[in-house]
Every structure is written in C-alpha cells, then in structure tokens.
Amino acid sequence: METRGEKNFIRMPMFSARRYDRLTNNTGVNSSFSKMAGYVAARFTEGRLLDVGIGPGRLLQELQEQIPGMELHGLDISASMLKIARDRLGEEVELKRGNICASGYPDDYFDCVVCSGSFYNWDKPVDGLNEIYRILKPGEKAILFETTRDYDPEMLNINLQNNLKGYGQFRKLLSILFLKKQMKLTYSTAEYNQLVLQSKFRDGYSIVRDVLGSLPIYVRIELVK
C-alpha cells in the first residue's frame, strides 16, 4: 500500500523536523494550539492525557500551561520530532516513540486522547481509531483537530495572507506550499465520517466544522468510548 506519509515521518531527518517546527511557528498556528488546548481545558482538569502524533510538541506545551493538573503523555512515530518535543517540554511529559496502531499502552488507561493534524497521515486510520478506543477509559473522550478538504479556497487565501503578514516572501511561499501539500492529502468531512463509522467509535461521535488560527479549514472529531 502507498504510505500516506508515515514512512516519511519514520525516516524524517533532524533538519526536516526543525524546518517543520520553524514553518509552523507563526501567529496563526500558535493561536490554533492555544484554542485547542482551551477547548480541552474546559472539559478536563485532571487525569491522564495522551497527544497522538505530537510533532514538535507545541500542543502539549499549551496543555502544560493551561492544564497543569493533568498527567501528560505524547506519542510519535518520528524520532526527530520527539527530540524537538523533548527539548521544548522538559522531562515532566512522558514521551514515547511508536505507531498509534499498536501503541503498547495498557487497556482503559487515558482519561482523554487528543490529536492535531496527525490522523490524515496514518496508513491505517481505522486501526489507529480502534487502538485509541482500547486505551481510552470507558465513558471518556478523544478529540481530534484535523483539516478537511471541504474548504473555501478564497477564504483560506485571505486569512492565510493575514496570518503571514510581516513574514518575508520566501517564508510566506514555503508556508503556503506546505499547507497546500497537507490539504491535498487530508480527508473530506464525508471521508472522516466513513472512517469513524468503520471503527469501534461508530456509536458515539460527532464531527463539526471549526475555525482555528482564523483558518476555516478544520473539523473537530469527538469520539466517546
């Protein structure tokens, strides 16, 4: 099977991970992590939380600030991303290298699982969802913040240009190319719906449109065990 990107992340060299970190470190993306963490903080104040596909760890960093009472864990398939996240987060967050399809965490272990912009890269998305189902405590929730292919390109362009105001032309171009690549690979809302319906979460989920970092290109997928 063609990989959706997992293979590239497994082999990702350090310089690519650092470039990803730099390119996604802009006003819009940073405010989106703050909003995601705020959404989680309004629902959870304690317990054990896992972020899946943490990348450079910026959502976990926001969660550290906004929910100091939670025990935070992060999983990623890329050693380079984990290295950057470790430097950013310090030793208090439990980080682990692995694939969400076979995470190795115990059954019924987490009070909350979150994920931002990683799901569309998983080669076996339904297996990943079923693994999240296994490691979530009964009655608890996973919250996935993902881009969707159903968006208005004109609105995206206007808001993206606003977010990148003040950055140099080269940086702007790279950020736009990077997002375009992501948007080609990401699922449509109907496809997300189909994937969840094939998983163990089929009886308890919602998918709603969301605006993050002023970009109207997101869905929030909430899955209840």
Ligand X SMILES: C[S@@+](CC[C@H](N)C(=O)[O-])C[C@H]1O[C@@H](n2cnc3c(N)ncnc32)[C@H](O)[C@@H]1O
Binding footprint of ligand X on the chain (CB under 6 A): 6, 9, 24, 52-55, 58-59, 75-78, 81, 99-101, 116-118, 121-122
Supply the DSSP symbol for 78.
-
CB-nearer residue toward ligand X: 2 or 154: 2
Calculated CA dihedral for residues 217, 192, 61, 30, nearest 10 degrees: -10
Cβ-based neighbour number of residue 137 at 10 Å: 15
CA distances from 61 to 80, 167, 211 (A): 17, 24, 21
Of 81 and 95, which has the nearer Cβ to ligand X? Answer: 81
CB of 58 to ligand X, least distance (A): 6
CB of 80 to ligand X, least distance (A): 8
Pick the closer one to ligand X by CB: 58 or 73: 58
Q: 154 vs 184, which CB is nearer to ligand X? A: 184
The CA-based diameter of the chain, rounded to the nearest angstrom, is 49
CA angle 139, 142, 146 (to 5 degrees): 155
Which residues of the chain form beta strands (DSSP E)?
47-52, 70-76, 94-97, 110-116, 136-147, 205-212, 215-224
Least Å distance between CB 119 and ligand X? Answer: 8
> Measured from the CB atom, is 52 or 95 closer to ligand X?
52
Least distance in Å: CB of 78 to ligand X?
Answer: 4
Please list, in sequence order, all residues whose beta carbon lies within 8 angstroms of the beta carbon of residue 104, skipping any fewer than 6 positions away: 96, 98
Q: What's the closest the beta carbon of residue 42 comes to ligand X, in angstroms?
A: 20
55-69: string of b/e by CB count within 10 Å (b at 16+)?
Answer: bbbbbbbbbbebbee
Tell me the closest approach of the beta carbon of residue 76 to ligand X, in angstroms: 5
Position with the least CB separation from ligand X: 55
**Closest to ligand X by CB, 147 or 159:** 147
